Amino acid sequence: METPRLVVGAASRAPPPAPRSQRRRILRPCGGAHCSPSARAAPPVLLTRCSSYSSSREGNGDSHGKARRESSGSVRLDVEADSDQVPSLADEQREGDITELFNLAQRNILYINKQRLIAMEEMKKLHDENNLLLEEIQGLETEMQGIPLEAAQSSSFSELLLRIDTMVISGMISMTEASDLREKLVTNRSIIQSTFCDIHHKPNTELLSELQLFLRKPIEKPLHIVHICSEMYPVASCGPLSAYVASLSCEIQKKANLVEVILPKYTSINLDGIHGLRRSEAEYESYFGGLWHKNKIWTGTSSGVGLVIIEPSQLSYFSRDMLRGYPDDFERFSYFSRASLDYIVKSGKRPDIIHIHNWETAIVAPLFWEIFAHQGLGNTRILLTCQDLNSECLEEPNKLEMCGLDPRKLHRPDRLQDTNKTHLVNILKGGIVYSNKVVLMSSTHSKDALIQGSRHELQSTLAAHREKILVASYGLDGELWDPFKDIYLPRRYSANDIEGKSICRQALRRRLRFNGDSSIIDVSVMIIQMSIVLKKQFMLLCTGILRSSSWKR
């Protein structure tokens, strides 16, 4: 006789065999059109149904044990069992099912929470990209309409004043408060225009809160800064100094400061990088080599920054292919430095800060305090940025007479005399000694490491002027931005995993639809990165410069 088999619903395991008294023998085989002949001819099968499924019996069978078809082709009967044993089996099975369902529900909740966080990050990313695109579209629309940037800012300022009117009418502020608010806005118009340039989407409550918070802060007087330098991107460029000057000037001017850059007029100057270049009808004279030489003046702007380009009328110091690298570089740049200071005095400028760079214009510092500070520039301060301490420019002391300096006063250990070659003067040393503040550029070294550097001979000079030295990073400030933590980058990267940088560069090229030289992208990214750091460092530095006293002999 064939061994009977048990079919218990969809249970994964069969219950223990029921007592003989709980079984009913069925001699009728399964039938139906779907059954094969062999199945219909098979011997009778003993089927057992536990009463734990009796709750489903009402809809699938009657009290007489009516058959119900299974997918396996067998027939299952609901057979009543003794009530004293079945409940325990049913309770045990229910508890196992409930525990499994509970664990599954917990896993589903954790998964849903994780997906929700990811979705929120994606939504924020899309929201930021949407705002950026809207700003770009607004800028393009403004350009297509032929509206200058100054006119657009003036329009925003006028709209801001009109919004104050609606605040009064709606009862948000009183007429007295509105009058005081308008007066402060007009007084600080230049700062307000740059800070509150996009107010269209802001409701009055939010705008009023931002205005009140902004005006409670002490508003510093805008600075007038003049760079005297040998290069600036994209006008004249042959090194990292050009990007430094360009990015710094743009960022500082965005804070409602006035920034101007004075450059030599090289033969290789990039005219396409200058907007509105024109030659002034006026000429002025500057002293050099015992004579007064005439200079032509060219003016224009680059990225909104004012440019003054000086061209010697009689000397051909800058009518050459390269920007520097000639035996007479000291004569070339000392002439330009003296001509720049003569221009500032004769044009009636009174800048707060004169920013000089590297050895090429370091001679400006001793020139200023020995000659020009007494010509109405007593409140001006000198800031020197040095990107390479190894480039010092050693010259004969008598060459200082060419630009009007007295070698007998300056050829001293505490002035310009070189530490090792005492018969020469060190031009970069003179810039460090005579400047009010000195910025040393380094990505890896601390102030102590730079002062004690073995590759330069300025240890004693830097140590003597330690209190006015600031170290600034060439690259990024990790406190402000870290590409390894930026979730919005297509691929994060770090110093240990630099592969993501090239992926980000390609993504930037695709977004800008740029198919040209990748070096332009690299320079643009470098300018943006440096701007993040320089804006913070320079504003802190300016406060220290303005508080410092004049150079003391």
Question: What is the SS3 string spanning 44-66?
Answer: CCCCCCCHHHHHHHHHHCCCCCC
> Looking at the domain assignment, is residue 500 inside a domain?
yes
Lowest mean pLDDT among 193-197, 210-214, 429-433, 475-479: 475-479
> Looking at the domain assignment, is residue 114 inside a domain?
no
The closest alpha carbon to 405, from 368, 362, 354, belongs to: 368
- CA–CA distances in Å: residue 76 to residues 29, 61, 79, 107: 11, 10, 9, 35
Would you say 143 and 152 are in contact if contact means Cβ atoms under 8 Å apart? no
Distance of alpha carbon 246 from alpha carbon 472, whole angstroms:
16
Q: Is the predicted pLDDT of residue 184 greater than 70, yes or no?
A: yes
> Looking at the domain assignment, is residue 315 inside a domain?
yes
Distance of alpha carbon 387 from alpha carbon 374, whole angstroms:
30
Q: Is the predicted pLDDT of residue 405 greater than 90, yes or no?
A: yes
Q: Do 495 and 380 share a structural domain? A: no
Q: What percent of the chain has a predicted confidence (pLDDT) above 90?
A: 32
Q: What is the pLDDT of residues 267-321, one digit of tens each?
A: 999 998 899 999 988 899 999 999 999 999 999 999 889 999 999 998 999 999 8
Segment 413-419 shows an average pLDDT of 94
Distance of alpha carbon 530 from alpha carbon 474, whole angstroms:
7
Domain end among 472, 504, 525: 472
Per-residue tokens: 490: 């297509």
Q: Do 307 and 272 share a structural domain? A: yes
Per-residue tokens: 177: 């408060």
Q: What is the reported pLDDT for 436? A: 95
Q: What is the reported pLDDT for 305? A: 92
Distance of alpha carbon 444 from alpha carbon 14, whole angstroms:
73
Q: What is the reported pLDDT for 59? A: 45
The rounded radius of gyration (Å) of the Cα atoms in the chain is 41
Q: Do 433 and 501 share a structural domain? A: no
- CB atoms under 10 Å from CB of 32, counted, come to 11
Domain end among 165, 197, 216: 216
Amino acid at 397: P
Distance of alpha carbon 46 from alpha carbon 201, whole angstroms:
78
Count of positions (residues) in the chain: 553
Contacts of 374 (CB under 8 A, 6+ apart): none
Q: Do 332 and 199 share a structural domain? A: no
> Looking at the domain assignment, is residue 108 inside a domain?
no
> Looking at the domain assignment, is residue 85 inside a domain?
no
Distance of alpha carbon 354 from alpha carbon 245, whole angstroms:
13
Q: What is the pLDDT of residues 28-73, one digit of tens each?
A: 444 444 444 444 444 444 444 444 444 444 444 444 444 444 444 4
> Looking at the domain assignment, is residue 468 inside a domain?
yes
Q: Do 400 and 496 share a structural domain? A: no
Q: What is the DSSP letter of 197?
A: S
Amino acid at 38: S
Per-residue tokens: 210: 């931002």
Q: Do 500 and 363 share a structural domain? A: no
Would you say 297 and 310 are in contact if contact means Cβ atoms under 8 Å apart? yes
Q: Do 511 and 387 share a structural domain? A: no
Q: What is the pLDDT of residues 115-160, one digit of tens each?
A: 888 888 788 777 777 766 666 666 555 554 444 545 555 666 777 7
Residue 416 class from Cβ within 10 Å (0-12 exposed, 13-18 middle, 19+ buried)? buried
CATH of residue 241's domain is 3.40.50.2000
Q: Do 212 and 229 share a structural domain? A: no
Q: Do 419 and 274 share a structural domain? A: yes
Domain end among 198, 216, 234: 216
Q: How confident is the model at residue 477 (pLDDT cuts 50, 70, 90)?
A: low
Q: What is the pLDDT of residues 496-553, one digit of tens each?
A: 788 888 888 888 778 777 666 555 555 555 555 555 455 555 555 665 665 566 554 4
Peptide linkage before 29 cis (omega within 30 of 0): no
Rounded to two decimals, the pTM is: 0.59
> Looking at the domain assignment, is residue 1 inside a domain?
no
Q: Do 199 and 300 share a structural domain? A: no
Contacts of 13 (CB under 8 A, 6+ apart): none
Would you say 236 and 266 are in contact if contact means Cβ atoms under 8 Å apart? yes
Q: Which domain holds residue 508?
A: 482-515
Q: Do 284 and 178 share a structural domain? A: no
Distance of alpha carbon 234 from alpha carbon 230, whole angstroms:
12
Would you say 552 and 464 are in contact if contact means Cβ atoms under 8 Å apart? no
Structural domains in the chain (count): 3
Q: Do 363 and 304 share a structural domain? A: yes
> Looking at the domain assignment, is residue 383 inside a domain?
yes
Segment 470-487 shows an average pLDDT of 72
Per-residue tokens: 524: 């643009």
Q: Is the predicted pLDDT of residue 17 greater than 60, yes or no?
A: no
First-to-last C-alpha distance (Å) of the chain: 122
